[in-house]
Structure 1
């Protein structure tokens, strides 16, 4: 399974929604707290791009040499329609400063020095050290996941429904929807005839590193379901 550090790096560098919570910007609208771009630096710091007049930029500018604590809160929502669509949340807290001279005119890059990280997702909840966060890499399928899950749901629904045959003794599955995809496997959300939901996980024979390997792994999975 992906480590908690890898899962958090994936969320930070993905397109899931994020807001930056900063003292002094409590009255700002939610959209004013959402960075336009977020990246992770070589030392594990998180860079966040905002308009120069954003409330969080003003707060960071006024703080100057004082330590300004901030929390980047991330919410991961499934890209397909499933019951209970929130797949996970993560919180990256640390100290916020301005990083002038990096952004284009009209914008300001903020630097979040990571102190504490916590993730609560489909795998469970865990704390992550700043060192482990810095050393981790995002999942290699991160940039493809949304499109691939939507494609599976729209164009290969018959194959997805066939995965219910691999669930062993569990009977009465009425609907299967692709929920999450990473280099280790595919997770689906099932609904039984009584309307109850549960998740199932199908691991790939070996971790997938790129899109061509994923296609081979998915074909093997669907073929196994067809033979069952």
Structure 2
């Protein structure tokens, strides 16, 4: 399974929504605290690009040499329609500073120097040290996961339903691909009574790209068709 640090790093690199929480910052609307761009530097610092007039930018600017505590809260919502759609959250806390000259016109880059992080997702809840976060790599499928899950849901429903046999369950009302990473596929089964459960299908070996993923998915579906 991916480590807690890898899962947190993957969320930062994903398209999940996030909000920057700054203690004492009053009157700011949530959408004003959502960065346009997120990235991670070589030392593990998180860089956030905001409009130059954002309340977050003003707070970092007015602090000057003082450290501004902040928490980046990331919410991971499944990109397909499924019961209980929130897949997880991560909180990355640290100190905020302004980075001049690193963004285009009308934009300002802020750096969040990581103190620690915490992730609570489909794998469980765990704390993450700053050094672990800096050393971790995002999942290689992070940029493609949304499109891949939507494609599986719309074009491979029958094959997904046959996975019921693999977990020795009767056919259910709905089978939805919930999450995908280099280690495998997670599927959510929903019964006619509204009860849901998840099943995880591991690949024979971790995949490192789309070509390897196609082979792994073919093997998974072939196994579901084998008596």
Cα-to-partner distance string for 1:160-190 (whole Å, 9 max, x where unaligned): 111111002x335332110000000000000
Q: Which residue of 2 aligns with 1:53?
A: 53
- Residues in 1 aligned to 2:107 and 2:22: alpha-carbon distance in whole angstroms: 18
Coordinate RMSD, CA, aligned = 1.0
Check the 8 A contact 1:24/1:59 in 2, yes or no. no
Match of 2:215 in 1: 216
- Paired with 1:195 and 1:22, the residues of 2 have a C-alpha distance of 39
User: What's the CA shift string for 1:20-55, capped at 9, x where partnerless?
Assistant: 011343311111000000000000000000010000
CA distance in 1, matches of 2:36, 2:200: 33
Runs (4+) of structure 1 exceeding 3 A deviation are: none
Cα drift, residue 106 of structure 1: 1.0
Q: Tell me which residue corresponds to 1:128.
A: 128
- Residue 186 in structure 1 maps to residue 185 in structure 2: yes
| Matched residue SS, 1:173 | coil
Structure 1 residue 67, shift from structure 2 partner:
1.3
Contact 1:188/1:201 (8 A) holds in 2: yes
In 1, distance between residues paired with 2:32 and 2:25? Answer: 9
Does the CA contact (< 8 Å) of 1:23 and 1:59 recur in 2?
A: no
**1:192, CA displacement in angstroms?**
2.1
Tell me if 1:206 matches 2:205: yes
1:42-82 Cα distance to aligned partner (Å, 9 max, x none) = 00000000010000000000011111100000000000000
What SS is found at the alignment partner of 1:142?
Answer: coil
CA contact (8 A) 2:176 2:189 kept: yes
> 1:145: which partner in 2?
145
In structure 2, what is the Cα distance between the partners aligned to 1:9 and 1:26? 29
Equivalences, count = 227
Match of 2:73 in 1: 73
Instruction: Determine the C-alpha separation between the residues in 2 that align with 1:173 and 1:2.
Output: 29
TM-score when normalising by structure 1: 0.97
CA distance in 2, matches of 1:91, 1:166: 36
Whether the 8 Å contact between 1:176 and 1:191 is mirrored in structure 2 is: yes
Question: What displacement does 1:104 show?
Answer: 1.1
Corresponding residue number in structure 1 for 2:173: 174
Q: CA–CA distance in 2 between the matches of 1:182 and 1:172?
A: 25
Classify the secondary structure of the residue corresponding to 1:220: helix
